[in-house]
Structure formats: structure tokens, C-alpha cells
Amino acid sequence: MQNITEKILKDHLVEGDLNNNRTTIGIKIDQTITQDATGTMAYLEFEAMEIPSIKTDLSVSYIDHNTLQTDFRNMDDHKFLQSAAEKYGLYFSRPGNGICHQIHLERFAKPGKTLLGSDSHTPTGGGVGMFAIGAGGLDVAVAMAGEPFYLKVPDVINIYLTGKLRLMVSAKDVILEVLRRIGVKGGLNKVLEYSGPGVKTLSIPERGTITNMGAETGATTSIFPSDEITKQFLEAQDRGNDWKLLEPDNDARYKKKIEINLSELEPLVALPHSPGNIRKVKEIEGLPIQQVCIGSCTNSSLRDLKSVASILRGNKIDNKISLTISPGSRQVVEHLIESKEMTDLIKSGARVLENTCGPCIGMGQAPSSKAISLRTFNRNFLGRTGTKDAEIYLVSPETAAISALNGKLTDPRSFKGKFEFNMPKKFIINDNMIIPPSKEDNKKIELIRGPNIKPLPPFLPLYEILKGEVLLKVGDNITTDHIMPAGAKILPLRSNIPAISEYVFSVIDPEFPKRALEKKGGFVIGGDDYGQGSSREHAAIAPKYLGVKAIIAKSFARIHLDNLVNFGIVPLIFKDPQDYKLIEVGDNIEIELNDFTFENIKIKNITKNNSISLIHSMSERHIDILKAGGKLPYIKNKQF
């Protein structure tokens, strides 16, 4: 009576009870991935644990987020990451090889295995039947050290697919439909498990698109069965031995079932500034646009770009449109060159960018002022592109390509041209941009540190009474992009906490860092789903550096709550959400943690002379980590 999730978790369980969904379990992690925006911190943290080499089956360090080398900092960090991979026994994917999730799906992902990645879109691996979870870099470092990863026992939601996608309706429209149904926090502490006859009609790249963007629902992960389609994909990647059959039992039980008839789906679009703000394309068709960007870990596969090439073949993009295409990997590029479909892209007027995350992480291609940009990406948060007043709409590759030809948002079903493409039976295998683990004595290998790599800040034990001022009050759905923005200006500071902390909350209040330092820290008040979006732990460690002691919110996103705990910031929840109205910026407050029992916690608002009751959603282990001052001292105390 087991579903796929239960089968994998049972095989990897090292602590806890799977039958109690109110408890926390610890699972063995088989594989890990990091990328360069989060990896530098992860390997500094791994170094601090004083463990000579990784203890996972396989770990990969990817360079894909920040390959713009406008000064020494990015290149210095890349050299540090390569030396860390050599020293600790990781594979290293060099800059320009491609996007971590696309490459991992092609070259490393295995059905039935667990994967932990310091990127929130790690669930892409669920497309081949992996239990793949996004987490903060410190959690990934701890997993590389051989420690279990802890999570709440998730509820498993069955997304039951029937029918078959019609022409010009794609996998992107499937996940947008899921978001339309459950929203950006409907997946919190849940696994979205796909089944039904419609699954057999979806290729692995299509499944990867769906599991990738399941992260926008707040889900722990998303997963598909490993079936004959999976076997064919892995065999085509010359990895047939990695395949195993993995399907739910016929009588598998689920917390809830959501049925989607693929035959009834229409092209969909997410409006600014949330992936959950879904409409049908035909309802707003004709919207004038200025930019189209195709790519990202969601839609940069060979299947997606062959589809785009078919639409653009023999056509020219509108004169007022800037169209960029970011392939997901060198394998994708080599196939497009071999089939001459790269020529179709170039002749249309498209600008083919390096195969990296690029514009999706705000790395170039910022739109013009007040522009409307269509993107095949997974997030359209305010300011993420680098242009705060731009409006970003998320669409499928087919909608993006046809809209680029017309200069306006267009329902792709109106396309009158010939639309066909063929996938190769065997993929081009060229791993010369992946450096395998070194066979040298790692004691002789030195980490290469540039001047931008600063030591980790100290981790001090938690005080029982927290005192200070309310520094900032924000609303619902605050993302990690609000808290710690990305982009070409800020990401080079990722290994320099004092420098990057100067940008905390700069999208909302540019004076926040200065005020926090002047007040010697304090508190932040938040609404629902505080910290949704990216897994970047900088959104916790940089506020910690500024002296933030606690975040009091209506609710928290899963990864961000873990990151706050990992760096010693206390995440507390209003017992009555209406009490959010009773506290304002500038209020002087005290919070007593009651001998660290975290029971009957109250805010004493000294300014307003009132009291507010608080609760929390932390496990006992979370509390132990907080008491130690964070996860690094907690792990070191545990080992030594």
C-alpha cells in the first residue's frame, strides 16, 4: 500500500517514525549538489567541520549562476570551488558546462536515490524518480559530512494525470495549472507525487519541468514514477544501468488526490509578481511586450529548444522585441548545432546566451524601464530581473516563441506554420567539462582563497531573553529575493558576509542595514509564507550579521525556516494572526524563551504596554540547534 515517496523514505530512514506526520524524520542523503551562488558558503562551512572528505555516494559542485567575470571576485570564487571539489572528493562542473539541474538530470540523477541541493529547484531530479530536495548550503554541507537530513514527515498529494497534451500546450502549462489549483504555499510540507495514464505521455524533460517548478508551491519535493520512459532516457544518456523500476503500489494511499486531464489544458501565464497569479493566455492575449527570454532550469532542455526552433524556423522576430535563448547544457548546444536548429534560432534574430542561469537570476538582460517581459522561467518576483518597475510574465517556450514573432502575447495555438521536431535516440555524450574527484592525497591540496572570501562570522549561544526594537514590518509572501537580492551587482559578494549584508531588504527599505547596525540588531515582523522562493542561506546569515534576533511572522516557508534556525535567528509565529496588527516598526519589545522550553512565549511590547502570544513550528532538534547558536556549533559539539 505504499506510494513512491514512502518507498524511498523507508529505504533511507535513519531516525524517526514515518507513520507519524507530526514528527521529524532523518534520512540518508545519497547525492548532493551545490551551485556557485550558494556553494562558496557551503564549502566554507564544510571546511569548518574539519572533515577530510565527503561521505555521500556522489556530490557535484556546479558553476552556473554567476559566470560574469567583470572583476576578480567571481573567478576567485570559481577557483576556490574547484580547489574545494579537488580537496574533498566532489565532481566539478566547469563554468559554461550548463545549469546544474539540467546537467544532473542528464548525467547523474538516479531513480530511487535521495538528492539534497543548495538550490530550491533541486526537485528537478524528481523527473526521473529521485527524492530530490532543496535546502540551505549549511544543510547540504552537513549532508556531505554524512549526517542525516531532517524534515517533517510530508503529506503526499497525488496529482493524477489523464489524457494527453494537445498541440502547443506544454509541461509548463501543467505546472502552472497545479499552481492555479493550490497556490504558492499549497505544497508546504507536502510531496506532489504524479501518477495516472497521462504520465506515460510525458517525456523526462517534460517531467523535469513539472517537478522543477513544483518548488513554487512550497512543496518539499515533486516526484514521478521511474518507468519505461525513464529507462529509455537513461539508456539514451548511456546510463541504462542507473535505471530501476519505481512505481506506487496499486492500492497506494495518499493524503489527497488532484485530477488533471491533460487533454483539457490550455496555454497559461503567470502574471506579475507571483508564479501563483495564473490566467489563461487567451484572456490577456494581445498584451504588447518588449522582451522575451527563453531558458532557465525550467525550460532549457533539448526538447524545449527544439520546439522553439521549429516555431522560429524561417521566421523573423518582431523588430521591437529582444529575444534571448539560454540553453541548459553543452549537450543541448551540441545537438542544436548538429541538427542545424541552432541556425534556425540565430536566423530568427534570437540572441543565444551562454548556457547558464543568466537572466533568471538577474544576471544580465535586465528589461528596459516599465517593460513587459515574457520569460519561460520559474519566478517573476518584484525586482528579480534587475529592473524594479518591469513586469514579468511566465509562459511556456511555445507561447514565448510565437509571442516573440508577433511582438505581443499570443496564444500559441494560433500558429499556422509547420510544427514538428524529433528527439535523438542517443544523446551526444561529452563530459570533458566535468572534472571527476581527484585521486591525489587530499591533505596536500590547499584551498585557493581570493581576498573576497571572508571568514564565517561567529556563532554565539542563544540568549534566553531577546531584547530590541522592531526594525522592519513586511506583508505576506516576502521572498528571499526581497530579503537578500541576487543579480550581477550583489552575487559576487556571496562569500563576503559583511559586504553582502549591506543589501539586506534593499528592495523594500534601502536604509534597513544601516538602521539595524545602529540599533545593534532587533526584530522583523512578517506576514504569511515569509521567506518563500530561493534556498539561499544568505537571506538568513546576512540578517544575523546585522543583529536580527528573531523573525515573528504568520507563517514561514520550509527552507527559510531551516536556514533561520541554522544561523541562530529564532522563527516565531503569531498565535492569533490578527495580532500582526498590534506591533509596529520602532516598538521596543522583549521575548522570553522560558528556559528554552519555547512554551507560552509572549512578546512584551514595552512601547505599547501590551502582550502578544506566540507559538512556533520547530522540532526539538531545531531548538537544540538554536540553543547551540546555530548548526555549525551544534554539529561540532555533537562530533567532538
Q: What is the pLDDT of residues 572-618, one digit of tens each?
A: 999 999 999 999 999 999 999 987 788 889 999 999 999 999 999 99
- 619 and 625 Cβ atoms separated by less than 8 Å: no
Q: What is the pLDDT of residues 379-427, one digit of tens each?
A: 988 888 888 889 999 999 999 999 999 999 999 999 998 899 999 999 9
- Per-residue CA distances from 297 to 165, 357, 368 (Å): 21, 7, 24
Architecture category of domain 283-414 in CATH? 2-Layer Sandwich (3.30)
- 483 and 531 Cβ atoms separated by less than 8 Å: yes
- Domains of the chain, residue spans: 4-264, 283-414, 465-639
Known catalytic residues? Answer: 64-65, 119, 379, 534, 536
HSE-CB of 212 using CA atoms within 13 angstroms: 27
- List, in sequence order, the alpha helices (H) in 293-426: 302-312, 330-338, 341-347, 397-406
**Residue 122 and residue 211: Cα distance in Å, rounded?**
9
The pLDDT assigned to 639 comes to 61
Nearest to 377 by CA among 304, 322, 303: 304
The pLDDT assigned to 396 comes to 98
CATH number of 4-264: 3.30.499.10
Report residue 289 as a C-alpha cell: 511586450
Got the DSSP string for 314-334? T----TT-EEEE--SBHHHHH
Same fold, 4-264 and 283-414: yes
The pLDDT assigned to 431 comes to 96
The residue type of 430 is: N
**Residue 348 and residue 445: Cα distance in Å, rounded?**
48
The pLDDT assigned to 489 comes to 81
The pLDDT assigned to 252 comes to 96
Report residue 432 as a C-alpha cell: 570533458
HSE-CB of 107 using CA atoms within 13 angstroms: 30
pLDDT < 70 positions in the chain: 639-640
pTM: 0.93
State the CATH class of domain 465-639: alpha beta
